[in-house]
Structure 1
Amino acid sequence: MKSFFKYVLATVTGIGIVFLIFFFIIIGMVASAIKQVGSTTVDVPTNAVLYVSLGHEIPERTSPSPFEGLDVPGLGEQKTLGLNDIISRIAAAKSDDRIRGIYLNPTYVNVGMASLKRIREALEDFKTSGKFVLAYSDVYTQKAYYVASVADSVYLNPQGSMEFKGLSSSITFMKEALDKLGVEMQVVKVGTYKSAVEPFVLNEMSAANREQVTAYLNSIYHSFLQPISADRNISTDSLHYIADNYLVRNAEDAVRYRFIDGTVYKDEFLAGLKQRLGIDDKKDISSISLLDYTEKEKKNTSRDRIAVLYAHGEIVDGEGSSGNIGGDRISRELRKLRRDDRVKAVVLRVNSPGGSALASDIIAREVALTKEVKPIMVSMGDYAASGGYYIAALADSIFAEKETLTGSIGVFGLIPNMKGLMNNKLGIHVDEVKTGKFADLLTSPDRPLTAEEYSIIQSQVNDIYATFTGLVAKGRKLDVARVDSIGQGRVWTGEQALGIGLVDRIGNIDVAIQAAANKAKLDDYNIVYYPAVKDPFASLLGSSKEKIKAWMLEDELGEYRSYIEQLKTITRSSGIQVRMPYNVEIR
């Protein structure tokens, strides 16, 4: 009887969950429909302030969701805005007579340094209009302060805190945990600096990896300090000294070392803002969030187009999804653009740590074919490393930010041997019959590779590395020996990559678009973005499932979620990989 009730309750619970999911979907559809009806115009008051917080997820490109704004766990509890729309909306506000200035309120900013620099540049450009940018926060993390330092005046809560202690990048090593589980990670690779496998086979950085991390972190730190030095009129030597001795920790320290212009409570800051706007103290400030602000539609009748094709995320075989780079999907988009007579040039926007070697090669082939027909430029985001560089190498020109992490020209394979886990920990044994000596190669997780099998896989990895270096040599007009010397899996910043010939210019996506227009001899053109953004309802069920899973993982694991995702990425990767070493997070 107890079993009967248990199964009945389980069935009822399952039905209830399905019902709730569909209930939320219906609500989402209705809310989205209502939103879309009124999305053509935006109610921006006159004498208004544009509120910019950046406290949300910042993907490369805004992805519309029917659940946005709904208070449904994991689905619509928070709006997001892509880097593309952040930049374009700040640019639109620059010439919008209704916007008097920007209230910048960054605290925790979760985005790569190259993207952060792009946002800072947009705010710098906004200031050239003569409009103000004022920054206020209760807490400034280092990334938040990097952005805030662009403001005309920077304020901090008197009891607030501030971080300024230099940049760091840490790696989590899992070898000992895997040893305890009885899992051995078998490594086949090419590249002294190809360190993607290190977290699974070591307990600390190798000397080569420490060398490259130190080099690129110092390069990024130099780029991080320069604009702060210029805008706050503090020498970089002084900034180094202040950070090295951790002299700025609170509001009083920040005033003493001229990092901020004053300490005020929020009501005092708002009172000063009212005074600047000429608003009576008893009235509210007219404001609109960057998340809600919409640009005025620009009309261009030109038939000629420059296509901007976004390739962001891990490179995977097959179609992939909106959050990664499917080899088949992106190569198909390139074929369409190549055959479209209206498209006169292509800018491939790459923000990827790499992934599948096969998918990377498929995309690179389409880049080469496109180059024969029309100009194709590459604009690099936070990352364009390993497979991300592979798909970029054959373009006409490559543009990177100083802080972009690129290169990582190397190849690896990671094969888990779970014999200890299965046999000794779980008591699971596998027996099989095969018709050939190598019939079970890479299909039997309960035994180690033999020496002969290692040799076979190493030969495959060597062949792919030779293909990779040969492709880079062809695209960059370098000797293969030279590519090998700057390859070996080593990661470079965009600034370093410029010096060794891996990129052509330091510049953002706008610079790349202009270069594409110049090469195509275009004066008048439309910019069209690809892949086309799907209607929110078209992929409703799939995206909802992913969002629910992501929310549940975040809710259970919090800051440790990234480690699990990193392990999942490696273990689900099929074939030989051209991937950047681990996930680099600069703090």
Structure 2
Amino acid sequence: MRSFFKIFFATLLAFVVIIILGVIVLSGFIGSALSSEVVTLSPNSVLVLETSQQYNEQQVSNPLNAFLRQEPKNVPGVNDLVRLVKHAETDDNIKGIYLKADNNANGFATNEEVRNALLRFKQSGKFVLAYGETMDQKSYYIASLADKVYVHPKGGIEFNGFFTQLTFLKGALEKLEIQPQIFYDGRFKSATEPLRETEMTLANRIQTNAYLGDLYGNFLKNIGISRKIDTSSLHRFANEGLIQEAGDALKYKLVDGLKYNDQVMDEIKSRIGLKGSEDVSFVSISKYMSATDLTEDKGADNKIAVIYAEGNIVGGDSEKEGTISSGHFIKLIREARQDKEVKAIVFRVNSGGGSALASESIWRELVLAKKSKPVVVSMGDYAASGGYYISCMADTIFAQPNTLTGSIGVFAVLPNMQSFFKNKLGVTFDGVKTAEYADLGNTSRPLTEIEKRFIQNSIDSIYSTFKGRVVEGRKLSGPIVDSIAQGRVWSGVQAKQLGLVDRIGGISDAIRCAAGMAKVSSYRLREYPETDASISRMVKSFGVSARVDAAVKEELGDQYKIYQQLKEVKEMKGEIQAKLPYFMEIR
């Protein structure tokens, strides 16, 4: 027995030592990965922007990429990107910008932010050169502003006009014998259409034609200005399908030349005075962020709080990325409200909405903040439904012309799964209750007519409250708000005309406005939530849910959106929602 204990404890000790050494070694690797990279710029550097890179509202840190020595280690947020491009205007080391324009992973308003930042950069006298092998329309929209736009001789650009398509699930649900019991207010509230229709309703077609036309008009107008082509000609190019090959793009002056990559590199060398075999010092936007201090005024005591609200609005206290949880954001807003050094709040909203109750809770905290300091809202790609709910109280609202906003309406979905369980799975249910409505909302049976009235009454009450918040915040009359509500989605241009937003502009415009309202000339930005460049992010990147979701996406391909839509219906079961349709793709 004594021999057994000796071996056991010796083995245990060895195991503990190995674990400790492993932790020390791993911590060293992680510390190295998370440590700030020192980037030194050469005197003849060219900043590289890739349209295929997705830019979220806040910086995304990738410790795993840092650990594996892969790029990008950090991706700037939209506001960071705008400020970095502005900094490059006066950076003597940056001679110009090389815009790699192939695919585009960003929304229309985000692309507007990037494009406007590049237009301002051009005014510094430095060059912007764009090149792509095959440019989609959103990539070309940004590339069109460049001094020179080149495309691969065997590539081309997409120039076919815009379209959007909804996926309707009614037929699939009928085959599965699942009845989506739907309640809504607003004749344009199209979020439930995929569950109750097999095609777009007339109301939805009207609103979609209107905002899609505005987005397309903005697209053609700005390309026409940059390329010196009238919009009627651009419209004809798309309508007649004239741009099919790279040569067509050159013929109709959408690009300046057909070149291979090496030829583009030679032109960049020539622009910055390099010869022969000398290499261009290209600097990615990620590395430029590491080499740049974006602090506005380090000595300033005054702060402007920028709170980034991006994703689905939900109840609870989750700090999950891509989620605006009411409990978490109430704490963030309250912290900014109670901080005496914070003189104004910029609330950056990029959300198609979510829980109506969570939206109301966030709205309340913003109203309290507005009583003590200016609150300015800056809208991103979306600030619709619940996203508009949490915006409407602001002193001033900024939107891009191609922001999608409004959608003032609510709905709820309660699926009746009784026939599915019984006829498809052979499962039945029975139980006991102490009151008539104890099992209200149970998916194993249909709602009674009285229960349906209960739920519709709740929908009507919340819709009335939502409109009341807009009346109060936007200083509009009840009848006017009722006429422009009804769940209708508006473009930023339309929303400004209707009084739903105040100004057309981006996040930098909103920050300057907030500073002006607070009467501060020097300030620092205080950003919320704090970015998580930590070990926990590295651990999350190995997480089961992240890996499963990535595998499902790879396996389903284009059908992944249907999976997402069904998943979304499941998650919002029974809760009254103020949100857009889950999947709204415009191409």
Is TM > 0.5 for Structure 1 vs Structure 2? yes
Match of 1:152 among 118, 142, 147: 147
Question: Which residue identity is paired with 2:406?
Answer: G
Aligned to 1:42: 39
Is contact 1:28-1:67 (8 Å) kept?
no
Distance 1:551 1:210 in 2: 33
Distance 1:210 1:27 in 2: 60
Match runs of 1:169-180 below 5 Å = 169-180=164-175
**Percent sequence identity over aligned pairs:** 42
Q: CA deviation at 1:549?
A: 3.2
Give secondary structure in 1 for the equivalent of 2:430: coil
Distance 1:153 1:547 in 2: 41
Is contact 1:134-1:153 (8 Å) kept?
yes
Is contact 1:56-1:81 (8 Å) kept?
no
Is contact 2:185-2:411 (8 Å) kept?
yes
Distance 1:528 1:378 in 2: 16
**Aligned in 2, Cα 1:312/1:247: closer, same or farther, shift over 3 Å?**
same
Match of 1:89 among 84, 91, 97: 84
Aligned to 1:409: 408
Distance 1:30 1:113 in 2: 42
CA deviation profile, 1:497-533 (whole Å, cap 9, x unmatched):
0111111111111111111111111111111111122
Give secondary structure in 2 for the equivalent of 1:414: strand
Aligned to 1:130: 125
**Aligned in 2, Cα 1:38/1:409: closer, same or farther, shift over 3 Å?**
closer
Match of 1:189 among 135, 160, 184: 184
Distance 2:365 2:537 in 1: 27
Distance 2:81 2:23 in 1: 28
1:236 aligns with 2:231: yes
Q: CA deviation at 1:488?
A: 0.5
Kindly report the root-mean-square deviation, in angstroms, between the aligned alpha carbons of the 2 structures. 2.1
Distance 1:323 1:400 in 2: 20
Question: Which residue identity is paired with 1:149?
Answer: S
Distance 2:140 2:60 in 1: 27
**Aligned in 2, Cα 1:24/1:100: closer, same or farther, shift over 3 Å?**
farther
> In terms of mean alpha carbon deviation, does 80-89 or 298-307 score higher?
80-89
Listed as ranges, the gaps of 5+ residues in structure 2 are: 1-20
Is contact 2:186-2:409 (8 Å) kept?
yes
Question: Which residue identity is paired with 2:498?
Answer: I
Distance 1:511 1:171 in 2: 34
Match of 1:98 among 73, 93, 102: 93
> In terms of mean alpha carbon deviation, does 186-195 or 294-303 score higher?
294-303
Give secondary structure in 1 for the equivalent of 2:65: coil
Is contact 1:173-1:199 (8 Å) kept?
yes
Distance 1:428 1:219 in 2: 50
Question: Which residue identity is paired with 2:238?
Answer: A
Aligned to 2:584: 584
Is contact 1:349-1:380 (8 Å) kept?
yes
Q: CA deviation at 1:82?
A: 2.5
Distance 1:225 1:37 in 2: 45
Q: CA deviation at 1:547?
A: 3.2
Aligned to 1:371: 370
**Aligned in 2, Cα 1:467/1:544: closer, same or farther, shift over 3 Å?**
farther
Give secondary structure in 1 for the equivalent of 2:308: strand
Aligned to 2:431: 432
1:351 aligns with 2:350: yes
CA deviation profile, 1:338-359 (whole Å, cap 9, x unmatched):
1110101000000000000110
Is contact 2:190-2:581 (8 Å) kept?
yes
Match of 2:254 among 248, 255, 259: 259
**Aligned in 2, Cα 1:233/1:395: closer, same or farther, shift over 3 Å?**
same
State TM-score, norm by structure 2. Answer: 0.92
Distance 2:378 2:538 in 1: 30
Distance 1:564 1:70 in 2: 32
**Aligned in 2, Cα 1:371/1:60: closer, same or farther, shift over 3 Å?**
same
Distance 1:156 1:532 in 2: 40
Distance 2:244 2:435 in 1: 66
**Aligned in 2, Cα 1:31/1:218: closer, same or farther, shift over 3 Å?**
farther
Question: Which residue identity is paired with 2:452?
Answer: Y
State TM-score, norm by structure 1. Answer: 0.92
> In terms of mean alpha carbon deviation, does 30-39 or 373-382 score higher?
30-39
Match of 1:63 among 52, 60, 64: 60
Q: CA deviation at 1:570?
A: 2.2
**Aligned in 2, Cα 1:25/1:407: closer, same or farther, shift over 3 Å?**
farther
Aligned to 1:338: 337
